[in-house]
Amino acid sequence: MSASLDVLFLIRSLHIGGAERQLALLARTMHASGHRVRVATFYASGAFEADLRQAGVPVLDLKKSGRWDVLTFFWRLVRLLRKEKPVIVHGYLPMSNLLALLAKPFAGWPKVVWGIRSSGSDPRHYGWMGRLEAWLQARLSRWADLIICNSQRGRQYALSQGFPLARTVCVPNGVNCEQFFPDPAAGLRTREAWGISQDVYLIGIVGRFVPLKNHAGLLRAAAPLLLTQPCAVVCIGSGSSQAVQEMRALAVELGIADKVFFPGAHLEMCAAYNALDLFVSASLTEGAPNVLGEAMACNLPVICTDVGDAAWLAADYGQVVSPGDVPALGRAILHAYACRKIPRALPRERVLSAFSVMALAANTETLLRNVCTASETKTP
């Protein structure tokens, strides 16, 4: 039997999000396989923190007090790493990646693994902090021991930015098909909770209220159908009150305010997916969208934009449109509605055949073992 791994994952928080969900899934699976795993977060709480603790995975709070809590926060991180003495520090998302690398010489030189969750996009989609993080990652990537992207397109983009070829790899996201499965009864209960009739054709989008998720594009694309047919859109996810209000205002402007619902984040996501008739991922950029695989595991027809590895995941089981192309997205929605009663291939079969949680864990574990056995001396 192989020796157990010693890994500390580092992430901003464990609130609901794609990267957070994948980290929790991987950490739980590795912990169950006998590895020493813990998760350190900048900020406490979050839906996945309780999930991890219940599974026996320690969650360590670094107590960051805000954006400008920099130096004292960094030294808290260094002290934590000195205390825990992990062999591997695995960052998730840019700031965690950068901090793990910067802390390395102060914390006993652990192996540093980066988790890249984006396929790259126009820098104008990001704020100044996001652009700075991307610039720093590209410049410092040569010193990371391993860089794991969650999509082939993300890896290609990283390489184009100067990431080291030999140490930049792809491990696709895993979908927990035991957690996400067809459950019509749960879907009906969720509709009742939302106040949406069973007779309504319900289109859903899942994600944070940020411009990159493109809620506005979906509302504009779906508006013609909503104005003429018994259809509705539900926007599942969290976001600032200002961002949600902007979408509410857009729905009013489009004349569909009574047909657009904002239930907030939903912990019972399997039930939420099962409440839908059509799932749409309208993102302007993604790595490998977790929500797309989860919706497919629930046997939903899907429409996605051609970002990251979304088109590869959807394959012949969904419609793919160019990101930002509202007319094309509208046509795809109309087509899905028109074909709603026609028998179709079941997308869950695609997820079961192409993805698995165990494959995610096994592939990651193999890469981490290789990092541990690699030479301590590395030429950038």
Reported as a pLDDT band with limits 50, 70 and 90, residue 285 is confident
Reported as a pLDDT band with limits 50, 70 and 90, residue 380 is very low
Digit-coded pLDDT (tens) for 48-84? 999 999 999 999 999 999 888 999 999 999 999 999 9
Q: Which two tokens stand for residue 330?
A: 């509208």
Global pTM reads 0.77
Nearest to 269 by CA among 243, 292, 288: 292
Give the CATH superfamily of 184-354.
Glycogen Phosphorylase B; (3.40.50.2000)
**What value does the mean pLDDT take over residues 228-244?**
95
Digit-coded pLDDT (tens) for 134-158? 899 999 999 999 999 988 888 999 9
Reported as a pLDDT band with limits 50, 70 and 90, residue 379 is very low
Instruction: Assess whether the region 6-174+356-373 and the region 184-354 belong to the same CATH fold.
Output: yes
**Exposed, middle or buried by CB within 10 Å (0-12, 13-18, 19+), for 68?**
exposed
What contacts 161, CB < 8 A, 6 or more positions away?
Answer: 120, 134, 137, 138, 141
Q: Would you call 17 helix, strand, or coil by DSSP?
A: coil
Digit-coded pLDDT (tens) for 88-112? 999 999 999 999 999 999 999 999 9
- Angle in degrees, CA 315, 272, 255, rounded to 5: 90
Q: Is the pLDDT reported for residue 215 higher than 80?
A: yes
More confident residue, 256 or 286: 256
Q: How far apart are CA 170 and CA 348, in angstroms?
A: 23
**What value does the mean pLDDT take over residues 170-181?**
92
Name the H helices within the chain: 18-32, 47-54, 71-84, 94-103, 128-140, 152-160, 184-194, 215-228, 241-254, 269-274, 290-297, 310-314, 326-338, 347-354, 357-373
**Exposed, middle or buried by CB within 10 Å (0-12, 13-18, 19+), for 241?**
exposed
Reported as a pLDDT band with limits 50, 70 and 90, residue 17 is confident
Share of the chain above pLDDT 90, in %: 78
Residue 305's DSSP bridge partners are 321
Digit-coded pLDDT (tens) for 287-336? 778 899 999 999 999 999 998 889 999 989 999 999 999 999 999 999 99
**What value does the mean pLDDT take over residues 186-196?**
97
Backbone angles phi, psi at 278, to 5 degrees: -150, 135
Q: Which two tokens stand for residue 163?
A: 């990431």
For 6-174+356-373, the fitting CATH number among 3.40.640.10, 3.30.365.10, 3.40.50.2000, 3.30.360.10 is 3.40.50.2000
Reported as a pLDDT band with limits 50, 70 and 90, residue 122 is low
8 A C-beta contact, residue 283 and residue 217: no
What contacts 151, CB < 8 A, 6 or more positions away?
Answer: 119, 170, 172, 286, 287, 288, 308, 309
Reported as a pLDDT band with limits 50, 70 and 90, residue 123 is low
Q: What is the residue extent of each domain of the chain?
A: 6-174+356-373, 184-354
Question: CB count, 10 Å around CB of 375?
Answer: 6
Q: Is the pLDDT reported for residue 220 higher than 70?
A: yes
